[in-house]
Amino acid sequence: MRDMTMVTSAQKANGTSSIPLNPLTPEQELATRVRLAQALQMSLDPNEVLSLFYQHIQALVSLSGILFKFGSGASDLKIGRECLHHCDYRLTTDEGYLGEIIFSRSKRFVEAELITLEFLLSSLIYPLRNAIRYQTAMRLALLDPLTLLGNRVALDSALHRELQMAERHQHELSLLMIDVDFFKKINDKYGHHRGDLVLCEIARGIQSACRGSDITFRYGGEEFVVVLGKTGAEGAKIIAERIRQQIAETQIIHNGKSICTTVSIGIATRHSNEREHISDLFERADRALYIAKNSGRNCVISSDAITTSS
């Protein structure tokens, strides 16, 4: 593997030979660098930056595919297809390790092509770093820093998207509003730091009780929201009961003693034949939660049941 710190010296990549090729002239180098730099500045999406790089270098070094492995542990990015012969580079900036990029194709790379690749990588490394940094910042802007669930900004965006999809395809959509029972007593008795740990455990409990397609958010304080796509009132109640039971069985140990807590849950469902604004869905879920809190807590109430009973 070649180690590229702003594309510096490197050892031989695997599968190379020493067949000489004509190097780029200074004029060709400058023109190539200018075109590539202009193209790579057009996007702050890492996948698109790599795609643009892949397209622009084909005339100089023919490739079958590029694989980028993030240094942060995020999912790999793949352009084209992987082949037998490849050359690998560690990309490092003055800020640290960025990731590993792997070029592959069906025939061996020659030394002159590797030199060209390294020259071209010098135009990729900082646009790619900027795109990764931007995407990371965008993700963090949508996360609650304590529980690492989506925050209210992310919730608003997800709800608009899910409601549009539900209306377009005539699907049901349900919303769970979850409130931790007597949370102030936990803060008062054990302190805010321990209260934060309780919230993190509850967040994990909610996620473990949900399906992979369900989206969980911290609404604020000790309140959480779960968006259940393609889920009617009965399905939402099953998931809500599973969450309630999961939290009730969770024990957090503090100084040899366990902290037990429960949650109350309100459900609102947008039925497939109805049009409803997000605020209406929230209002019904909040009303159901209020009734759950006033019905002894540690229970699940659906707004459909309220409507039926009234």
Q: Say yes or no: 190 and 68 in one domain.
A: no
Amino acid letter, residue 191: G
Residues in the chain predicted with pLDDT less than 50, given as ranges, are 4-21, 310
Looking at 89, 110, 141, the residue that finishes a domain is 141
40 found inside a domain: yes
Q: Say yes or no: 291 and 159 in one domain.
A: yes
Structural domains of the chain, count: 2
269-282: buried (b, 16+ CB within 10 Å) or exposed (e) per residue? bbeeeeebeeeebb
CA 36 to chain centre: 29
146 found inside a domain: no
Q: Say yes or no: 113 and 260 in one domain.
A: no
pLDDT of residue 73: 74
CA–CA distance from 189 to each of 131, 186, 194, 252 (Å)? 45, 5, 9, 14
Q: Say yes or no: 190 and 109 in one domain.
A: no
Q: Say yes or no: 158 and 302 in one domain.
A: yes
Q: Say yes or no: 93 and 223 in one domain.
A: no
Cα diameter, the chain: 85
CA 294 to chain centre: 36
Q: Say yes or no: 120 and 156 in one domain.
A: no
Q: Say yes or no: 260 and 192 in one domain.
A: yes
Looking at 141, 176, 209, the residue that finishes a domain is 141
Its pTM stands at 0.69
Q: Say yes or no: 176 and 259 in one domain.
A: yes
68 found inside a domain: yes
Share of the chain above pLDDT 90, in %: 63
Q: Where are the alpha helices (DSSP H) in 41-110?
A: 46-57
Specify the CATH number for the domain of residue 303.
Answer: 3.30.70.270
Tokens of 215: 């989206």
Q: Say yes or no: 235 and 116 in one domain.
A: no
Between helix 192-209 and helix 183-190 the angle, nearest 10°, is 140
Specify the CATH number for the domain of residue 28.
Answer: 3.30.450.40
147 found inside a domain: no
pLDDT of residue 33: 78
Q: Say yes or no: 279 and 162 in one domain.
A: yes
Q: Say yes or no: 122 and 171 in one domain.
A: no
| Number of Cβ within a 10 Å radius of residue 30 | 11
pLDDT in tens, 36-55: 888 998 899 999 999 999 99
Looking at 121, 141, 161, the residue that finishes a domain is 141
pLDDT of residue 221: 94
Reported as half-sphere exposure (CB side, CA atoms, 13 A), residue 16 has a value of 18
SS3 of the chain: the string is: CEEEECCCCCCCCCCCECCCCCCCCHHHHHHHHHHHHHHHCCCCCHHHHHHHHHHHHCCCCCCCEEEEEECCCCCCEEEECCCCEEEEEEEEECCEEEEEEEEEECCCCEHHHHHHHHHHHHHHHHHHHHHHHHHHHHHHHCECCCCCCECHHHHHHHHHHHHHHHHHHCCCEEEEEEEECCHHHHHHHHCHHHHHHHHHHHHHHHHHHCCCCCEEEEEECCEEEEEEECCCHHHHHHHHHHHHHHHHCCEEEECCEEEECCEEEEEEEECCCCCCCHHHHHHHHHHHHHHHHCCCCCCEEEHHHHHHHC
| Structural domain of 108 | 2-141
pLDDT of residue 11: 34
250 found inside a domain: yes
Tokens of 188: 């008062």
pLDDT of residue 49: 95
- The residues carrying an active-site annotation are 222
